Structure 1
């Protein structure tokens, strides 16, 4: 076989091979074409849906933000009842972030209006909300405990606050002060002194809290004439 014939045969084989490949492709397209097309549409729809979801959530957040600011303005204007209705609506139906923010604000309004039980109920639920971070949960615990200070027995306050009073917790200063005050109210002088002394021993205790701790220790000493022994 001469070279020209060999090259011709190779060309034919390549053409036949290419034709077979094309036929196979046609078969694949006939068999899977709708699935391929459907997959492409699904991808496009997925991208479009994702973009729409982002737009929708952003729009919802924007609307909720406007309503939240409007409610704050109502509060500033003394229209508490109207503000409460907006906060309630956001707390029930708003985007997750604004739901929680509205609940915090609603609890604060209730507390200011003297609706202590309602405020504590909201704060307790926020404290147990796993969707909040530890700082936000701790804030809710502190707020509820502050509202309970005048009425709650020390055991209840200790249960609420003990976990926050440990070294390193960002809410330890408030927790220690509340526990000291609660112990003082309960007549548990040793525990009260211990917490106030711990506050003074913590270099990061805020200056205003440090002054109050010093004042309480001075009051305790004046009432009995001598520091109490360390206690639990």
Structure 2
């Protein structure tokens, strides 16, 4: 019986291999080839990221040394060869260079290119939009400022404070004091907004008759701390 049982199993295995052996082997080979291809692609991506990082660091070193022309040339090379985050970061640095050189229109053009780049990370696109509007704020109509920044001027966005302040100013220019005051109060009460911006928003909201203070004791402590810091040392 054991010999018969073994013969039956061998026969079943032989039939299975005759029927499915070649497709199964082909599937295994294709799977191994795909996995090897993924490993190669991942290694190439990592090498490209390392190269882009080195180029960015080199450009930043040149900026610190005030070698703007050299830094721009380095960044142009990265923009031409790179993509995604590296390209957007390079364009962001170029926009900063243009601002330092007193070229707001060129800076805004650089930032606008990032904001319109679908391959760039959304966080960088939002930052580029904020900086584009800030660079040309005086040249824009209040309605245009609101239209460009309204989606960013929300508490969930990382750039809520900066975008919200510009939208609030645009509201004031439109005569919408209630909307401006409400938005400034939100900024003043946001924990993740820089304290200098919160303080400015709190003061503007107060001028508009909006109480933006949640914790009076906390605000008093902050004012006392600022006063101690600003007080001149005496002997």
TM-score (norm. length: structure 2) = 0.69
Instruction: After superposing the two structures, state which structure 1 stretch, 203-212 or 118-127, moved more.
Output: 203-212
Instruction: After superposing the two structures, state which structure 1 stretch, 43-52 or 62-71, moved more.
Output: 43-52
Q: Which of these residues, 104, 121, 124, is aligned with residue 136 of structure 1?
A: 124
Q: How far does residue 92 in structure 1 lie from its aligned partner after superposition?
A: 3.0
Q: How far does residue 17 in structure 1 lie from its aligned partner after superposition?
A: 3.5
Q: Which of these residues, 180, 199, 203, is aligned with residue 189 of structure 2?
A: 203
Distance 1:28 1:82, change over 3 A: same
Structure 1 position 71 matched with structure 2 position 56: no
Structure 1 position 162 matched with structure 2 position 153: no
Unaligned runs of 5+ in 2: 211-235
Q: Which of these residues, 113, 121, 145, is aligned with residue 133 of structure 2?
A: 145
Aligned 1:1-232 pairs, distance under 5 A? 10=1, 13-14=4-5, 17=8, 20-21=11-12, 24=15, 27-28=18-19, 32-33=21-22, 35-132=23-120, 134-182=122-170, 188=174, 190-191=175-176, 195=180, 198-200=183-185, 202-204=188-190, 206-213=194-201
Distance 2:26 2:82 in 1: 35
Q: How far does residue 66 in structure 1 lie from its aligned partner after superposition?
A: 0.7
Instruction: After superposing the two structures, state which structure 1 stretch, 139-148 or 35-44, moved more.
Output: 35-44
Distance 1:183 1:203, change over 3 A: closer
Instruction: After superposing the two structures, state which structure 1 stretch, 97-106 or 125-134, moved more.
Output: 125-134
Q: Is the 8 A contact 2:168 2:184 kept in 1?
A: no
Distance 1:214 1:70 in 2: 41
Q: Is the 8 A contact 1:116 1:147 kept in 2?
A: yes
Distance 1:50 1:134, change over 3 A: closer
Distance 1:103 1:192, change over 3 A: farther
Q: Root-mean-square deviation (CA), in Å?
A: 3.6
Distance 1:212 1:15 in 2: 87
Q: How far does residue 52 in structure 1 lie from its aligned partner after superposition?
A: 1.3
Unaligned runs of 5+ in 1: 1-9, 219-226
Paired residues, what number?
207
Q: Is the 8 A contact 2:145 2:170 kept in 1?
A: yes
What is the SS of the residue equivalent to 1:114? coil
